[in-house]
Structure 1
Amino acid sequence: MGEWAFLGSLLDAVQLQSPLVGRLWLVVMLIFRILVLATVGGAVFEDEQEEFVCNTLQPGCRQTCYDRAFPVSHYRFWLFHILLLSAPPVLFVIYSVHRAGKEAGGADAGPGPPPRRRCYLLSVALRLLAELAFLAGQALLYGFRVAPHFACAGPPCPHTVDCFVSRPTEKTVFVLFYFAVGLLSALLSVAELGHLLWKGRPRARRCRQGAERDGRRHRAREEARQLRPPPPVPPSRPRRPDPCGPPAYAHAAPAGDSEGGSGRSKASLATVRLDLAI
């Protein structure tokens, strides 16, 4: 039971990302498959080869007839079935742990939940395909009934040999039970896949509508910015007088006045010189 407990612990980690339908699938997987096969299946099918009796003593005839009656043992077929069904959820757990490590380290290049959701959708789809393939394989290999008598002919048997299966009714009940559990598991996988796809449609629509709304707001802001008049130029502040410069009342004389004043001073100077000469 150690290997089953390890597999069950890995599958328990899937329920953190699973919806209600996915958790129901895990319950069916853990209880009606792993637990039943580990406790009852081994006891029912462990002696099928030893108890397969044929009415001949020809060496090798009984082994050849058993191989023709059961190309693959029921128990090993279901064991491989469980391992293959558990592969997609376990891979999803590994991916989620890796993704969480990248997000914690700050090395994530994009948003976390959408890629994780797509990975979970892929795991559910692969799980459903594996379930349907094994249901078809079980129906083709064994049918729905374990016959108590099997007639075998061909080498190394010298003639037609009658072989008998131990506990055929009990094995038939177990085969039907396991096939019914497979159908239930497939239906749960279909329901979970449809639920995830239907739940993702409103979210994608909301994201698309939000992006369109943001785009419209951005375009409206750009258009309003282009139509807006330019801002008024603020009035210039008066310059403060320089304390080291000339006073405010000292204005420069006009050019004409300065020239006139210089002319008058020259005329008065010439008059003074004329008086002195006289």
Structure 2
Amino acid sequence: MGEWAFLGSLLDAVQLQSPLVGRLWLVVMLIFRILVLATVGGAVFEDEQEEFVCNTLQPGCRQTCYDRAFPVSHYRFWLFHILLLSAPPVLFVIYSVHRAGKEAGGADAGPGPPPRRRCYLLSVALRLLAELAFLAGQALLYGFRVAPHFACAGPPCPHTVDCFVSRPTEKTVFVLFYFAVGLLSALLSVAELGHLLWKGRPRAGRCRQGAERDGRRHRAHEEAQQLLPPPLPPPPPIPPSRRPRPDDPSGPPAYAHPGPAGDSEGGSGRSKASLATVRQDLAI
């Protein structure tokens, strides 16, 4: 189980940058494939060659018939399947760690997320292709049923030999289970690929919608400006002839406030009357 734990730790690092669908695929991979194959699969298929019995004692005949019945062992075929499926996510983790180190050191001047997203998209596509290829290979090699009887003819067997497989029903159930898990994994990969493609497309659409929204807002502002009344004209300037000059000695001082014309005439009359009264008093 040590090698399975190491592979599981590598795959667990993928979930840090995976969407929800990718994490569901990882759960299916770790539980329904690695865990089931490591605990149950070995016990079901470990004695398949020893318990493959043929009704002959001819040396080499049983081994030849087993090779014809099972060109590749189920257990080893699924091990290779898991390793090949794990290769794209593990390569993506290695690439992400390498790029994060370059960004931390300042050696990479390019933007980080777009290349990383493209690399993850490529890993999902490769994973899907590997899944479909292994599903087709399993259907062609084994079909969907482990037959209890296998008739074998050809050298080194002297005649047609009848061979029998141990626990065919249990192995058939396991083959169907593993094929169903493969279909589920392929569907999750397709959903994740579609999610990543859909997530990348609305980004440009949102930019276009933002530009259209800004254009509508600008047009509405221009229409509102057209509906407003025109601004009032500025007051006419005062002619230079009517402006008081500060250097004119005959004019009033700057601090004097001009009073009403009536008040100035009344004040001069009162001052003349007081002067006449003072002169009469002096004459007496």
Cα-to-partner distance string for 1:220-246 (whole Å, 9 max, x where unaligned): 999999999999999999999999999
Q: For 1:157 and 1:228, locate their aligned partners in 2 and report how far apart those are by CA, in whole Å.
A: 116
Cα-to-partner distance string for 1:52-103 (whole Å, 9 max, x where unaligned): 0000000000000000000000000000000000000000000000110011
The alpha-carbon distance between structure 1 residues 148 and 98, as it changes in their structure 2 partners (threshold 3 A), is same
The alpha-carbon distance between structure 1 residues 261 and 165, as it changes in their structure 2 partners (threshold 3 A), is closer
TM-score with structure 1 setting the length: 0.76
The alpha-carbon distance between structure 1 residues 169 and 217, as it changes in their structure 2 partners (threshold 3 A), is same
The alpha-carbon distance between structure 1 residues 233 and 56, as it changes in their structure 2 partners (threshold 3 A), is farther
The alpha-carbon distance between structure 1 residues 239 and 194, as it changes in their structure 2 partners (threshold 3 A), is farther
The alpha-carbon distance between structure 1 residues 240 and 185, as it changes in their structure 2 partners (threshold 3 A), is farther
3-state SS of 2:174 partner: helix
TM-score with structure 2 setting the length: 0.74
Cα-to-partner distance string for 1:140-160 (whole Å, 9 max, x where unaligned): 000000000000000000000
Q: Percent identity?
A: 96
Q: For 2:167 and 2:256, locate their aligned partners in 1 and report how far apart those are by CA, in whole Å.
A: 131
**Could you say which residue in structure 2 is the equivalent of 1:238?**
244
**Could you say which residue in structure 2 is the equivalent of 1:219?**
219
Q: For 2:58 and 2:244, locate their aligned partners in 1 and report how far apart those are by CA, in whole Å.
A: 126
**8 Å contact from structure 2 (residues 11, 86) kept in 1:** yes
Cα-to-partner distance string for 1:5-24 (whole Å, 9 max, x where unaligned): 00000000000110000000
Q: For 1:230 and 1:112, locate their aligned partners in 2 and report how far apart those are by CA, in whole Å.
A: 62
The alpha-carbon distance between structure 1 residues 146 and 233, as it changes in their structure 2 partners (threshold 3 A), is farther
Q: For 1:233 and 1:15, locate their aligned partners in 2 and report how far apart those are by CA, in whole Å.
A: 80
Q: For 2:54 and 2:19, locate their aligned partners in 1 and report how far apart those are by CA, in whole Å.
A: 51
3-state SS of 2:67 partner: helix
**8 Å contact from structure 2 (residues 25, 185) kept in 1:** yes
- Kindly report structure 1 stretches of 4+ aligned residues shifted beyond 4 Å: 207-278
Q: For 1:275 and 1:184, locate their aligned partners in 2 and report how far apart those are by CA, in whole Å.
A: 133
User: Paired residues, what number?
Assistant: 278
The alpha-carbon distance between structure 1 residues 248 and 192, as it changes in their structure 2 partners (threshold 3 A), is closer
Moved more, 207-216 or 227-236: 227-236
The alpha-carbon distance between structure 1 residues 142 and 245, as it changes in their structure 2 partners (threshold 3 A), is farther
**8 Å contact from structure 2 (residues 246, 254) kept in 1:** no
The alpha-carbon distance between structure 1 residues 11 and 266, as it changes in their structure 2 partners (threshold 3 A), is same
CA RMSD of aligned residues (A): 10.5
Moved more, 255-264 or 43-52: 255-264
The alpha-carbon distance between structure 1 residues 212 and 69, as it changes in their structure 2 partners (threshold 3 A), is same
* Shift of residue 118, structure 1, vs aligned partner: 0.4
Q: For 1:171 and 1:233, locate their aligned partners in 2 and report how far apart those are by CA, in whole Å.
A: 110
The alpha-carbon distance between structure 1 residues 171 and 213, as it changes in their structure 2 partners (threshold 3 A), is same
3-state SS of 2:158 partner: coil
Q: For 2:18 and 2:104, locate their aligned partners in 1 and report how far apart those are by CA, in whole Å.
A: 22
Q: For 1:25 and 1:253, locate their aligned partners in 2 and report how far apart those are by CA, in whole Å.
A: 97
Moved more, 62-71 or 100-109: 100-109
* Shift of residue 206, structure 1, vs aligned partner: 3.8
Cα-to-partner distance string for 1:14-56 (whole Å, 9 max, x where unaligned): 0011000000000000000000000000000000000000000
The alpha-carbon distance between structure 1 residues 137 and 265, as it changes in their structure 2 partners (threshold 3 A), is same
Segments of structure 2 that go 5 or more residues without pairing to the other structure are 227-231
